Structure 1
Amino acid sequence: EYQTELATAKANLHSVIAEAKAMELEVNRVKDLVSKNVVSQSELDVANAKYDALAAKIQAARSAESSAAINLAYTNIKAPFDGVIDRIPYKMGSLINEGTLLTTVSDIKAVNVYFNVSEKEYLEYVKANQETSEHGQVDLYLADGSRFPSKGKIETLEGEFDESTGSIAFRARFLNSDKILKHGSSGTIRLTNVIDSSLLVPQKAVFEIQDKSYVFVVGDSSRVRTRAFIPKTRTGHYYVVESGLEKGEKIVYEGTQSLKEGQVIKTRLVTAE
């Protein structure tokens, strides 16, 4: 329909231009006759008036052609950026209403990843990265367990915790040059805390009583005593000790289930896995 309207407008413009050219020749002919006193001036005035009317029609025809071209251009949908287009559920000729969503185009050269962390994890991260907490780097592990090749940069975090979940939301941006990430993808974010000169305790050596963490410390005469300690965080198979244990102390690595307070044991040094 819009193509037909444009074609009709073009044809009408060409027709009016042709009429105007013919009228221009007529005006010149009448001018010559008037100069020879063959016809009166009034005939020339009539010819000029007809020519002016055709000139106005040309302007109107040009406007009609321009309007038809604009309407036709509106039928070509262009995205303001390059991206990946989603499925289009409509076939050619389908009836749709104004405001109907045709499809979705996603710019996935760089992707925003949203994730939430608990208040405890947030505080641990901020304390360990006080200078870079708002713009630190994070790792993304995909649904298959593989690590996404590019590191993400934390861009923003919300100003308050969600009272219903006790968590706070972060947003990190990842460059996605290989277009691996898609809109709606899922994965796991890993925040990295930099800890210097910390004391680590293997998880295997730790047991819990009423939500407190304990280890068996080997004292004088190889006698074991239970010792509570406060873990700062957990990394891999180890606890990072905040307080309760000192460097150089010996702890029982395995076999804690069968030990009793004050029991004398035979020890040997082992390397934790």
Structure 2
Amino acid sequence: MQSYSGLLALLSTIILASCSAHSEKKQESAPTLPVIQLTQQDATLDHDYASNLEAVQNVEVRARVAGYLDKILVDEGKPVHKGQLLFQLNPTEYQVEVDRAQSSLESAMAQAESAEVEMGRVKLLVTKNVISPSELKLAKSKLETARAGINGARSALNKARFHVSLTSIRAPFDGVINRLPFKRGSLIEEGALLTTLSDLREMYAYFNVSEKEYLSFIKKRLDPEKTTVREVDLLLADDSPYPYKGKIETTETVFEGNSGTIAFRATFPNPKRLLRHGATGKIRLETDVDDAILVPQRAVFEVQDKNFVYVVDASNKVRSRSFIPSSRVDQFYIVQSGLKPGDRIVYEGIQSLKDGMRIVPKALPAKRLQALYASAR
């Protein structure tokens, strides 16, 4: 019996020693992770919006009369000037109309001249009481009819000449020629699209913002102390920055029902014609936030559409805590509720953490912390 009691004591000692060693090993294996302390600060955050680019003028150049395409005097992608001849349709059949109308006008003028002579003769005979006054009325009516014929013939001649002029298609403004769908000799119907012409000296960039962002912008614009035009940056399709800044000039008047957004229009100079009609890009707006609590996106994980961070307590144990962001801009969340200044959160390495784990907190180096928040300014 004494031997059995001694054995139990030995086993208890071994178990306690093993647990103690395991505890010490676990304590020694606590991971060292970077930690940041949340503070309130003023920040300028970048927000990107998808945008569509349009030329300030982009019009379809169409044939206003039918005919064979005799000449194409421009090429795709080439600049043209206002009034420059672009296309020439065969004017022969319209010139025939001009000649016919010219003959009709000359005939009408001859008839009017004859009617005028006849009226003078009738008037003399009426004066001598050779014929009745009713003959004079008839002669005046014939003269008025002849004169009306002149006006009609002259109108037809002007119309025929106008049709001839429409066979020469000219540029309505300075711009760049786009695609040419027809070749020389093609039979062109009235209204056929010959090309489109784009004025690329300036470009419009359209982008949609939420109602909340719209109200923020409008309130600042109405502030008498902030009367300057809002400048914006443009990122091209390859995410490279466009070298010229744009200015927000106007907004649409109606919110889109499905998305709840409204379109803004910014204008960008385009001196090198780099931007083209129909291209895409991203408008980058700077948003000023006062006394904001910024949480790096890297420190956040999501569970069932909720946002969490690991908060480090006084004993260096971590606990997950949910928070509600007011917005997400670039690489940061702006905290609405759930976190406060002074909270310490794990910045990196959150994938392997669990509630109650002890860590060895390592404050993020000052230079790195400054660089982190500088990216939000």
Task: Tell me the TM-score normalised to structure 2 length.
Answer: 0.49
Structure-1 residue corresponding to 2:297: 203
Residue matched to 1:141: 235
For 1:96, which of 188, 205, 215 is the aligned residue? 188
Amino acid at match of 1:99: G
Query: 1:72 deviation in Å?
Result: 4.6
Work out which structure has the larger RCO, using CA pairs closer than 8 Å and 6 or more positions apart in sequence: 2
CA, structure 1 residues 260+89, in 2 after alignment: closer, same or farther (shift >3 Å)?
closer
Q: Do the aligned partners of 1:216 and 1:252 also contact (CA within 8 Å) in 2?
A: yes
Shift of residue 109 of structure 1?
0.8
2:221 is matched with: 132
* Matched residue, 1:35: none
Q: Structure 2 regions of 5+ residues with no counterpart? A: 1-91, 104-153, 223-228, 373-377
1:150-208 residue CA offsets vs partner (Å, 9 max, x unmatched): 22222333333333344433322222121111111122222321223422212111122
Q: 1:87 to 1:114 in 2, by over 3 A?
A: same
Identify, as 1 or 2, the structure richer in strand: 2
| Correspondence 1:236 to 2:325 | no
Letter in 2 for 1:181: L
Matches within 5 A, 1:57-76: 72-76=164-168
1:67-216 correspondence to structure 2 within 5 Å: 72-117=164-209, 119=210, 122-124=211-213, 126-127=215-216, 130-132=219-221, 136-216=230-310
Q: C-alpha distance in 1, partners of 2:355/2:288?
A: 36
Q: Number of matched residues?
A: 218
Cα distance 1:224–1:125, how it changes in 2: closer, same or farther (>3 A)?
A: farther
Q: What is the correspondence of 1:14-33 to structure 2 with a 5 Å cutoff?
A: none
**Which blocks of at least 5 consecutive residues in structure 1 are unaligned?**
13-62
Report the CA distance between 1:251 and its aligned residue: 1.1
Is contact 1:2–1:71 with CA below 8 Å preserved after alignment? no
User: Once the 2 structures are TM-superposed, how far is the Cα of residue 100 of structure 1 from its aligned partner?
Assistant: 1.8
Tell me the C-alpha RMSD between the 2 structures.
Answer: 3.4
For residue 246 of structure 1, report the CA deviation from its aligned partner: 2.2
Aligned partners of 2:206, 2:259: CA distance in 1, in Å? Answer: 15
Answer yes or no: is the 8 Å Cα contact 2:312–2:344 preserved in 1. yes
Inter-CA distance 212–129: structure 2 relative to 1 (3 Å threshold): farther
Closer/same/farther in 2, CA of residues 216 and 82 from structure 1, 3 Å limit? same
Looking at structure 1, the residues matched to 215 and 309 of structure 2 have their Cα atoms a distance apart, in angstroms, of 28
